Amino acid sequence: MRILRSEEGCPWDREQDHHSIRKNFIEETYEVCEAIDTEDTALLREELGDVLLQVVFHTQMEEERGTFNFEDVCTEICKKLVVRHPHIFADVCVNNSSEVLRNWDAIKKREKGQQSDTQTLQSVSKALPGLMRSAKVQQRAARAGFDYPDEKWAMSDLRSEVDELDEAMKQGDGAHVDEELGDLLFAAVNVSRFVHVDAEEALGRACEKFIARFSKVEQLAAEQGVDMKNAPIEKLDELWRQAKKVSNR
């Protein structure tokens, strides 16, 4: 990377900054996740290398500015692991993973100088996907004691948000619809926590299911001579029910 970023190196690599390759980092991380999901070891090895390249790329930019280098990055994470595992590297005793996580959170809070639970919520990265960020915010609020007692309360709140969104849509208030739709999605994530389902992953599976059923709808439409672009909604709904029946067998 030093060679690529040098005067004798690659023009494209020299032109990049943290912002210009930010999306590359995100894309490479998701490709690692896909390799994990498909249990493709060879692909995982390749994609981990691509993620490492992004780490090296960003670090090299900072080394050029004299702020830190790759060794500094490695040293800092090693120190963090030692500090946050006092049951391994110090004399703290734990009985299970839950106690490990509680210690981790307490240590992290001290490290960040967080004096209130609100600050722990505010520290959740705004760059996270919405469902993932919602879950983390809710989890931290729950650790502070602010949570529903069970899934029935969460479901009741979800139904309430559906009603409020419906009312906002009837009023035709765009800003209010935006707000209530956000509340509805946030409430759905709350339910996901209580039923121990990752909302982000569940939505991903729903997308895959929709694609599979849409493919079947398209096949059925072709077989029946139906023009999907011009067909009435009743016909499309009929095809969807047929596709759903086939996929559920």
Q: What is the pLDDT of residues 82-93, one digit of tens each?
A: 999 999 999 999
What kind and span of H or E run contains 17? none
Share of the chain above pLDDT 90, in %: 94
Residue 74 has pLDDT above 80, yes or no: yes
Which residues, in sequence order, are CB contacts of 164 under 8 Å at separation 6+?
180, 183, 184
Residue 187 has pLDDT above 80, yes or no: yes
Residue among 89, 70, 87, 69 at smallest CA distance from 79? 89
Residue 66 has pLDDT above 60, yes or no: yes
Token pair listed for 185? 């999605």
Which residues, in sequence order, are CB contacts of 208 under 8 Å at separation 6+?
none
User: Which pTM does this prediction carry?
Assistant: 0.77
Q: Tell me the pLDDT tens digit for each residue of 2-27.
A: 999 999 999 999 999 999 999 999 99
* Residue with more model confidence, 172 or 249: 172
Residue 188 has pLDDT above 80, yes or no: yes
Hey, is 128 helix, strand or coil?
A: coil
Q: What's the rounded Cα separation, in Å, for the pair 79 and 85?
A: 10
Which of the listed CATH numbers 3.20.20.120, 1.10.150.120, 3.40.50.300, 1.10.287.1080 matches domain 2-83?
A: 1.10.287.1080
Mean pLDDT across 229-246: 94
Q: Are 209 and 217 in contact (CB under 8 A)?
A: no
Q: Are 74 and 82 in contact (CB under 8 A)?
A: no
Q: Tell me the pLDDT tens digit for each residue of 102-129.
A: 899 899 899 999 999 999 999 999 999 9
pLDDT for position 105: 87
Confidence of residue 249 (pLDDT cuts 50, 70, 90): low
Residue 207 has pLDDT above 60, yes or no: yes
Mean pLDDT, the chain, integer: 95
Token pair listed for 171? 């009023």
Number of residues written out for the chain: 249
pLDDT for position 68: 98
How many other C-beta atoms can be found within 10 angstroms of the C-beta atom of residue 161?
A: 20
